Structure 1
Amino acid sequence: MPNSKGYRGVSTQAAAKHYDVSDEFFRIWLGPSLAYACGLWTDGADTLEKAQLRKEEYLLSQAGIRPGIRVLDVGCGYGGEMRRMVEEHDVESVTGITLSRAAVDWTQNLGIPRTDVRLENWIDHRPSAPYDAIICIEAMEHFARPGMSGRAKIQGYREFFKRCRSWMRPEGRLVVQTISWGHRFPLDVDILRDLYLATTVYPECNPSYLGELQAASDGLFDLVALRNDFDHYSRTLEVWLDNLRADRDRAAELVGPRKAEDFERCMALAVQAFADGWFYLHRLTFRPVPKPTKPARRFLINNVLARDSLPTPRFLQPNR
């Protein structure tokens, strides 16, 4: 992620510290799909696996996934969406990029046809041909690190949007699912202590504000659909937490008692954080603008047309 200091987003080392610990450890609480993202729940009786499948279908539908298209999956995880796009939607090809070596190895071992999985930072990606769709499911949280200013974050996000715009066909779609900052956290010592712990479990991770993504995409994409499903993440996390607690001894054997306990504490905090709206879960669908432009000059629009409070510019005066 380029800025004045050449920041490129989360480092491979930081990604490995969180993700490359043990596939079996993640299977304990994520379930057999290894879907490490918020599900999409119904009001009635539901299961984690159904919620994850429903989330996949919603996002793929928003992206316009259909037979014969080329897709880029940024932060492809364990390949669940890639497999579904090939097996159920008959896409021509899917390229998946991630900074987790464990995820690359796992997905490659699945042997999904017409897929290319790479250990690659998005900023280093060079497509061989335009994509018809790009999906990015809970990877954007790693595009900024704690301590970055809002301006620096927007600059980095805008670079991502610029690249996506240049990589895709004019009629394509970009679909993003991401954790965002919500209401201000209560100033509670225990909560702040657990938040600090979360920075060690999820190193170099700093979610966006929705306004930062809107500013970064301005003039490059139109935001055509938006959902805020923060309560869905609280429900997802409750199931993950129950799964982890049910097999706590096995988890400790796989990654060590300290790391297993840290994950459990972070998830317990996150259940409350999402339920109370401290964090949001945004699902956004973007459509490329026909011709990229600089961000809108809002001062001009907001004030030049204010004829009752400012002199009318000569070029706007009606011809007499």
Structure 2
Amino acid sequence: MTPGESTRTAEAAAAIRHHYDVGNDFYSLWLDPSLTYSCALREGPDDTLESAQQRKLDFHLDAVRAHRARSVLDIGCGWGSVLERLSRTPSVERAVGLTLSTRQADHVTSRGYPGVDVRTEDWRTYEPGAPFDGIISIGAFEHFATPADSPAEKIDVYREFFTRCRGWLTDDGMLSLQTIAYANMRRDSASAFMQQEIFPDADLPTLAEITTAAEGVFEVQSVSNGRLDYAWTCEQWARRLRANRETAAAAAGPETVARYERYLKLSALGFRMGKICLFRLVLRPYGATYFNSRGGRRG
């Protein structure tokens, strides 16, 4: 790892811990029981947060054909909702989760899921011992680039991610990716509050940056925009946090609660106005011969 990569990894770890290590007790007050902290997949007006989150997990597991996979990697595994489901999938013998949050890693480890290995490690430094049949990454991609990166530098970071994923996959493996992205909002109009107090050193991608970075490495099989799903998800989280405000303040402090209530309100509004959106992408790797001819890296 180069000095530049080492610095970026250290900065990414600090930024992740700023947000995700606020406290498991705090998050458990307003997330669903699986502690899934990403956009749900809503089906209708009578849907519950719990059922919509399980439907989202189903989407990503189906995308990587988990029912016949022997090994799956979860990049940005959070509190382990995907890993828990993989541990109950008969075909899956090995499920690996990567997170930069020590509290999330400790939580997953404490659950004792069979066949699951959780690592407090960045994707930039991870080296698997064997290829995977599928890779899932939900809500991590938006943390890979920083506001200091130029558009070209962002694409380079994303391409490195896609190149590594391709090198970790079997030739018939699949990548399922979910990320927030810029929509009708310019990058220079992004909220300073969100970038400094909620997700420091994080910058959203655009769809064009994602597809440019994946060109020649992955073929985009499908892409959908779930921005209204995410507006609804944030509103559900905000409602639960308000209902547990006193307990949340005792767990994390009143300033933290106020900050998160503002963040969830602004996020819901941004999704509803189309300033930001939520992409779910299913990607198939190009064959090894084509991939290597384009200068890709295996292993």
The TM-score with structure 2 as length reference comes to: 0.92
Report deviation, 1:254.
1.1
Change (3 A) 1:127 1:213: same
Show the 5 A alignment for 1:22-61: 22-61=23-62
Query: Which deviates more, 87-96 or 50-59?
Result: 87-96
Whole-angstrom distance in 1 between the partners of 2:186 and 2:215 = 28
Aligned length: 290
Change (3 A) 1:7 1:213: farther
- C-alpha contact 1:3 1:155 (8 A) present in aligned 2: no
SS in 2 for 1:124: coil
Change (3 A) 1:186 1:99: closer
Query: Which deviates more, 213-222 or 251-260?
Result: 251-260
Q: Name the structure 2 match of 1:8.
A: 8
Query: Which deviates more, 13-22 or 74-83?
Result: 13-22
Report deviation, 1:89.
4.6
Q: CA-to-partner distance for each residue in 1:18-61, whole Å, 9 max, x for gaps?
A: 11111010011112111000000012310000000000001110
Q: Quick check: 1:205 aligned with 2:202?
A: yes
Q: Quick check: 1:131 aligned with 2:132?
A: yes
- C-alpha contact 1:218 1:294 (8 A) present in aligned 2: no
Whole-angstrom distance in 2 between the partners of 1:158 and 1:2 = 17
SS in 1 for 2:174: strand
Change (3 A) 1:61 1:244: same
Report deviation, 1:205.
1.2
Whole-angstrom distance in 2 between the partners of 1:77 and 1:90 = 23
Show the 5 A alignment for 1:223-302: 223-290=220-287, 291-292=290-291, 293-294=293-294
Q: CA RMSD in A?
A: 2.1
Report deviation, 1:275.
0.8
Structure 2 unaligned blocks of 5 or more? none
Letter aligned with residue 197 of structure 1: F
Q: CA-to-partner distance for each residue in 1:236-269, whole Å, 9 max, x for gaps?
A: 0000000011111111111111111111101101
Structure 1 unaligned blocks of 5 or more? 296-320
SS in 1 for 2:97: strand
Letter aligned with residue 267 of structure 1: L
Q: Which has the larger radius of gyration?
A: 1
Q: CA-to-partner distance for each residue in 1:60-103, whole Å, 9 max, x for gaps?
A: 10111124511110000111111111214541110101000000
Whole-angstrom distance in 1 between the partners of 2:30 and 2:53 = 13
- Structure 1 counterpart of 2:217, from 220, 223, 240: 220
Whole-angstrom distance in 1 between the partners of 2:59 and 2:149 = 32
Whole-angstrom distance in 2 between the partners of 1:177 and 1:110 = 25
Q: Name the structure 1 match of 2:111.
A: 110
Whole-angstrom distance in 1 between the partners of 2:224 and 2:179 = 11
Whole-angstrom distance in 2 between the partners of 1:118 and 1:4 = 22
Whole-angstrom distance in 2 between the partners of 1:7 and 1:211 = 27
Change (3 A) 1:233 1:89: farther
Q: Name the structure 2 match of 1:100.
A: 101
Whole-angstrom distance in 2 between the partners of 1:162 and 1:269 = 34
Letter aligned with residue 263 of structure 1: Y
SS in 1 for 2:66: coil
Report deviation, 1:294.
4.2
Q: CA-to-partner distance for each residue in 1:122-148, whole Å, 9 max, x for gaps?
A: 011111111110110010011011131
Letter aligned with residue 160 of structure 1: F
Show the 5 A alignment for 1:147-166: 147-166=148-167
Whole-angstrom distance in 2 between the partners of 1:25 and 1:5 = 32
Report deviation, 1:287.
0.5
Letter aligned with residue 145 of structure 1: T
- C-alpha contact 2:98 2:122 (8 A) present in aligned 1: yes
Whole-angstrom distance in 2 between the partners of 1:185 and 1:214 = 18
